[in-house]
Amino acid sequence: MARPLRIQYENACYHVTCRGNGRQHIFVAEYDRRKFLDLLVRSAEIYQVHLLAFVLMVNHFHLIVKTPRANLQEFMRHFNISYTAYFNKRHGRSGHLYQGRYKAFLIDADSCLLEVSRYLHLNPVHTTQLVNSDEEQKKEYLRSYRWSSYPDYISSSHYPFLSLNEVLGYFKGDRTAYRDFVEGGIPLIEKPLEKGKGHGIVGNGAFIRDMLKQATIKPSREQPAGRRAISQVKPERVLRAVTKRFRTTREEILRKQYRGPARSIAMELLYRHAGMNQREIGELMGVDYSSVSVARKRLRDMLAVDDSLKKQFHAVEGALIQE
């Protein structure tokens, strides 16, 4: 059977899920879940992905994400590698954590986002241990389930990284109306993702036809449809902001021999804010694609432990956005 299509474009919405290899647990302790969310948020910040909803089960997880930069594959590759590396090290194991690659369904936000969000949020009550519980017990369990975005949608915020307006906007921000919508589906056991079997697109007929038509265009390795249309600033503005902060010159940080954080910071900001992919950044910097990837990873590792460098990075980024 052919794999579902990977269709990427700016501001696309996806339902993403991964299951443990051989249905094994991907969370052993509460700390694993906290680390999972930490790494998820970090990856979302790096790739500028909006996190709309999530639920963590014992042996799988579900996400709804929106990708302003048309980069779902890069985001999920980075995130899954990060969590697998953590999990294997912490629990003294090796090899694959997940059963194959992640599954992603492109969602027609206009017609199916609400339905998919309800399906995701109802996962905790559609488990075998609750099969004999009555509806009120299931509602109580659902509202108190910690490892889900659902409590944020119906009450106060626990996870500030969530983008709630995309879904709550359909109810004009009325959390009670959304709660009634979700909990009204408890006895239904709907499976909206069944609509996407084979092609990976959940939407109405016109949306599916349009997306399948777009999928006939073959993008380059890191140039999905629409990527160039989302550039926020020109590359020269990025270079100017970096050189001003670090009191150096454009010519200096473009030299391969340059030593110092300014070059890596420029690479990261060119990716985040100038709409450039790693191949394009490499061509500008005189290195190959993989060297850019390594430099960006090294910078992220340094930012995690060096508060002074982190302050400089945010200062450059802030100046760039406000310019």
CATH code of the region 231-322: 1.10.1750.10
Which residue's structure tokens are 């990873």? 297
Instruction: Kindly report the pTM of this predicted structure.
Output: 0.70
Residue-level pLDDT at 215: 65
Is residue 130 scored above 80 in pLDDT? Answer: no
Top-confidence residue, 50 or 214: 50
Q: Is the pLDDT of residue 20 over 50?
A: yes
* Mean model confidence pLDDT for the chain: 87
Residue of 162 and 279 predicted with greater confidence: 162
User: Is residue 149 very low, low, confident or very high in pLDDT (cuts 50, 70, 90)?
Assistant: very high
**Structure-block tokens of residue 265:** 């910071």
For residue 4, name the pLDDT band (cuts at 50, 70, 90): low
- CATH number of this structure's domain 12-214: 3.30.70.1290
pLDDT at 219: 43
Sign of CA dihedral 151, 157, 160, 161: positive
DSSP of 203-219: S-HHHHHHHHHHTTS--
Predicted pLDDT at 216: 54
Q: What percent of the chain has pLDDT over 70?
A: 91
The pLDDT of residue 226 is 38
Token output for 63:
């996400």
**DSSP label at residue 69:** T
Model pLDDT for residues 268-283, shown as the tens digit of each residue = 898 878 878 788 898 8
Q: Are the CB atoms for 296 and 267 separated by under 8 Å?
A: yes
The residue ranges of every structural domain in the chain are 12-214, 231-322
pLDDT in tens, 99-128: 988 999 999 988 899 999 999 999 999 876
Residue, of 182 and 214, whose pLDDT is higher: 182
At 204 the pLDDT is 83
List pLDDT tens digits, range 280-315: 898 899 988 778 888 888 898 888 888 899 889 988
Q: Tell me the average pLDDT across 81-85.
A: 95
Long-range CB contacts for residues 234-241, cutoff 8 Å, separation at least 24: 234/274, 235/270, 235/274, 235/276, 235/284, 237/274, 237/320, 237/323, 238/266, 238/269, 238/270, 238/273, 238/274, 238/320, 239/266, 241/269, 241/316, 241/319, 241/320, 241/323
By residue count, the chain amounts to 323
- pLDDT, position 182: 96
Share of the chain above pLDDT 90, in %: 54
Alpha helices in the chain (DSSP H): 30-47, 72-90, 109-121, 135-144, 150-154, 165-168, 175-183, 205-214, 235-246, 250-253, 261-273, 278-285, 289-305, 307-322
Q: Which two tokens stand for residue 116?
A: 């998919």
Confidence (pLDDT) at 93: 92
Per-residue confidence (pLDDT) for residue 321, from 0 to 100: 62
> In this predicted model, which residue has the larger pLDDT, 220 or 261?
261
The mean pLDDT value for 38-56 works out to 95
| pLDDT exceeds cutoff 90 at 65 | yes
Mean pLDDT of 60-71: 94
Res. 14: pLDDT tops 90: yes
Tokens describing residue 133: 């519980």
- Please say if the pLDDT value at position 1 is more than 50: no
Burial 276-300 (b: 16+ CB within 10 A, else e): bbbebbbebbebebebbbebbeebb
Q: Average of pLDDT values for 132-151? A: 92
Instruction: Determine the average pLDDT of the residues in 205-230.
Output: 57
